[in-house]
Amino acid sequence: MPTFKLDGLDVPFEAGDTIIKAAHRVGIDIPHYCWHPGLSVAANCRMCLVEIGPPPGRKPLMLDVFEWDRDRQDYVQQRKPKLQPACQQAAVEGLDVRSQTSDHAKRARAAVQELLLLNHPVDCPICDQAGECRLQDYWLEHGTRKKRMLDERVRKPKAVVFGPTIVYDAERCIVCTRCVRFVEEVVKDPCLAKRERGNLSEIVLSPGRKLDNAYTLMTEYVCPVGALTAQDFRFKARVWFLRSARSVCVGCATGCNDFADYDPRNQTVYRYRPRENMQVNRYWMCDEGMLDYQRIHQGRVETALVGNKPVAREKAIQKAAKLLDGVKPETLAVVLSAEHSNEDNYALLTLVQGKLGASQVFIAGRPDGEGDDVLRDKDKNPNRAGVVGLAGAAPHSVGDLFKAVAAGKVTHVVSLGSEAFGISADDFKAIGKVTRVALATHSGPLTAGADVVLPAGSWVESEGTFVNKKGLHQQAERVISAVGDARPAWKLVSELAAALGKSLDFKRVRDVQRAMLGGDAPVPTRPSEKPLGAPV
């Protein structure tokens, strides 16, 4: 692989790479605002300027400049190297690039920083971006002095509603155009534009348009400062109180990789952010997925129910065991869930099919929704492929369960999950004479009218493996503790097995994973070990 030198280090690059892209790939950060690895190059912020030594045998490119000479109290003519934007300069074999080791580059960055802050309001105490703002970080790292402008700063529009999810503050905007390029290039919805020049520039909506598509929250995410804020996250949390875990979006079968940002003090998830995975979601997520964290704390089954009455979990498990004990295996059915992880489904299948002998396997999940060519899949389940893989053959749809019950072929059902591909709660209440034990995170059709409901932990309350539509096995970390009396579904199954006198020996999620992989196999590797929340 060809290489170039960056501050004395050899950096390998691929054909077509720019200096910043090659450096980014090996984890070296060249300061930047407007560059984003998933967008075209705008080269408008000039924060990434670097000094590049001349190719062998050539003279360096120099500029004539006037510098203020304190002693002479006058400007004197000087020469200095012509700096290049690392985001635009192609990587070339043998190039000698100086970023942190160039005094000229350092002075240029300090000047850019001073320019960007000339008209910037001192909003940090009330700005959502504070704590993860590029202007703050780079000012500490590269700013050298207080701003010298004594004039009143330029005033611009604040709190402009761009659409149902995003609010814009023109005074905070550094006009890097990342948001403009994102809607144009990724979403193909050119609804944002830049108007005016110099310190009057601002981002505006295209005439007659609103920022209202399936990826609006990504504009806030790519904004390197606090100019675009999300209605959903505005003023809800300070980011320095949040911790991040590597998770996987369960909003659809794409399985975008994300960071779940949560407050450990109240065990609450506040937002999802995309986690780079070039095989799955590149750098992006859709709005539906980014807001899907809300389901973690809404409509949850927090206590066990017997005949719709809250009871202690242990009592409900005893009741469920009593209902399932001695049932004829041929009339016992298991409903697996495309909403749940492989671990949860595997544990249930092991108990109901493996230990209790049920042969009728069904699958349930969330009903189909909208899909598109960017990321969204119309299958709104994160693990349909995983369930099909575990069941060995395509399980019957939950719709067939109604026919089996009506024909008297099924008398007892153990189900996992809440949704049933659009079949309503009322339909389930009228399913007929069947005994049902439901393990569920949320109230839904599968819990409606169930004899026993056991409160299951959600996708962020236990580590889990999800298989996306491409067949990629992806592991999500545990983020927060289970709410109320809930426990991970694999654990509930283990407790139910013990109550039935059928030991499963699943004490930790790793036990389930080991069993799933065939006993001695090593447990799956953890998600990519990229630094948490590393900015791009």
Which CB atom, from 33 or from 259, has the smaller least distance to ligand FES? 33
Using CB under 6 A as the binding rule, whether residue 176 contacts ligand SF4 is answered as yes
48 binds, among ligand SF4, ligand FES, none (CB under 5 to 8 A by kind): ligand FES
Burial of 426 (0-12, 13-18, 19+ CB in 10 A): exposed
Give the Cα separation of 69 and 65 in Å (integer): 12
Neighbours of 501 (CB within 10 A): 9
Minimum separation from the CB atom of position 112 to ligand FES (A): 9
Using CB under 6 A as the binding rule, whether residue 21 contacts ligand FES is answered as no
Give the Cα separation of 42 and 138 in Å (integer): 20
Using CB under 6 A as the binding rule, whether residue 474 contacts ligand SF4 is answered as no
Applying CB under 6 A, the site for ligand FES has a residue count of 12
Interface region with ligand SF4, contact rule CB under 6 A, candidates 170-178, 312-320, 409-417, 483-491: 170-178
Q: Among residues 24, 46, 376, 478, which is the contact residue for ligand FES, using CB under 6 A?
A: 46
Using CB under 6 A as the binding rule, whether residue 13 contacts ligand FES is answered as no
List own/partner pairs for 244-247 with CB under 8 A and 24 or more apart.
244/273, 244/532, 244/533, 245/460, 245/477, 245/478, 245/479, 246/275, 246/476, 246/477, 246/526, 246/527, 246/528, 246/532, 247/272, 247/275, 247/459, 247/460, 247/476, 247/477, 247/479
Closest CA to 389 of 363, 366, 413: 363
Interface region with ligand FES, contact rule CB under 6 A, candidates 26-34, 113-121, 449-457, 475-483: 26-34
Q: What are the respective helix, strand and coil percentages of the chain, to the nearest 5?
A: 25, 20, 55
Using CB under 6 A as the binding rule, whether residue 34 contacts ligand FES is answered as yes
379 binds, among ligand FES, ligand SF4, none (CB under 5 to 8 A by kind): none
Over its C-alpha atoms, the chain yields an Rg (Å, rounded) of 28
Give the Cα separation of 5 and 19 in Å (integer): 10
Q: Where are the beta strands (DSSP E) in 165-284?
A: 166-168, 192-195, 202-205, 228-230, 243-248, 257-263, 268-274
Using CB under 6 A as the binding rule, whether residue 47 contacts ligand FES is answered as yes
Helix, strand or coil, per DSSP, at residue 112: helix
Give the Cα separation of 518 and 514 in Å (integer): 6
Neighbours of 484 (CB within 10 A): 13
Minimum separation from the CB atom of position 61 to ligand FES (A): 17
Inter-CA distances, 442 with 239, 290, 302, Å: 28, 19, 8
Closest CA to 105 of 119, 92, 89: 89
What does DSSP say about strands 3-6 and 96-98: parallel, antiparallel, or unpaired? Answer: parallel
143 binds, among ligand FES, ligand SF4, none (CB under 5 to 8 A by kind): none
203 binds, among ligand FES, ligand SF4, none (CB under 5 to 8 A by kind): ligand SF4
Helix residue ranges, H only, 224-312: 287-290
Minimum separation from the CB atom of position 43 to ligand FES (A): 4
Q: Among residues 23, 48, 305, 316, which is the contact residue for ligand FES, using CB under 6 A?
A: 48
Which CB atom, from 91 or from 203, has the smaller least distance to ligand SF4? 203
Residue with tokens 């109290």: 73
Which CB atom, from 203 or from 285, has the smaller least distance to ligand FES? 203
End-to-end CA distance of the chain: 24
Minimum separation from the CB atom of position 384 to ligand FES (A): 41
43 binds, among ligand FES, ligand SF4, none (CB under 5 to 8 A by kind): ligand FES
Burial of 470 (0-12, 13-18, 19+ CB in 10 A): exposed
Interface characters, 221-240, with ligand SF4 (x: CB under 6 A): -xx-x-xx------------
Using CB under 6 A as the binding rule, whether residue 174 contacts ligand SF4 is answered as yes
What is the dihedral sign for C-alpha 140, 145, 146, 148? negative
Which CB atom, from 99 or from 381, has the smaller least distance to ligand FES? 99
Q: Among residues 255, 444, 457, 488, which is the contact residue for ligand SF4, using CB under 6 A?
A: 255
What does DSSP say about strands 84-85 and 49-52: parallel, antiparallel, or unpaired? Answer: antiparallel
Q: Among residues 45, 117, 480, 483, which is the contact residue for ligand FES, using CB under 6 A?
A: 45
Which CB atom, from 360 or from 458, has the smaller least distance to ligand SF4? 458
Taking CB atoms, the residue at the shortest distance from ligand SF4 is 289
Using CB under 6 A as the binding rule, whether residue 203 contacts ligand SF4 is answered as yes
Using CB under 6 A as the binding rule, the residues of this chain from 257 to 296 that contact ligand SF4 are 281, 285-286, 288-289
Interface characters, 365-404, with ligand SF4 (x: CB under 6 A): ----------xxx---------------------------
Using CB under 6 A as the binding rule, the residues of this chain from 69 to 88 that contact ligand FES are 85, 87
Using CB under 6 A as the binding rule, the residues of this chain from 443 to 502 that contact ligand FES are none
Applying CB under 6 A, the site for ligand SF4 has a residue count of 27
User: Which positions touch ligand SF4 (CB under 6 A)?
Assistant: 173-179, 203, 222-223, 225, 227-228, 249, 251-252, 254-256, 281, 285-286, 288-289, 375-377
User: Which positions touch ligand FES (CB under 6 A)?
Assistant: 32-35, 43-48, 85, 87
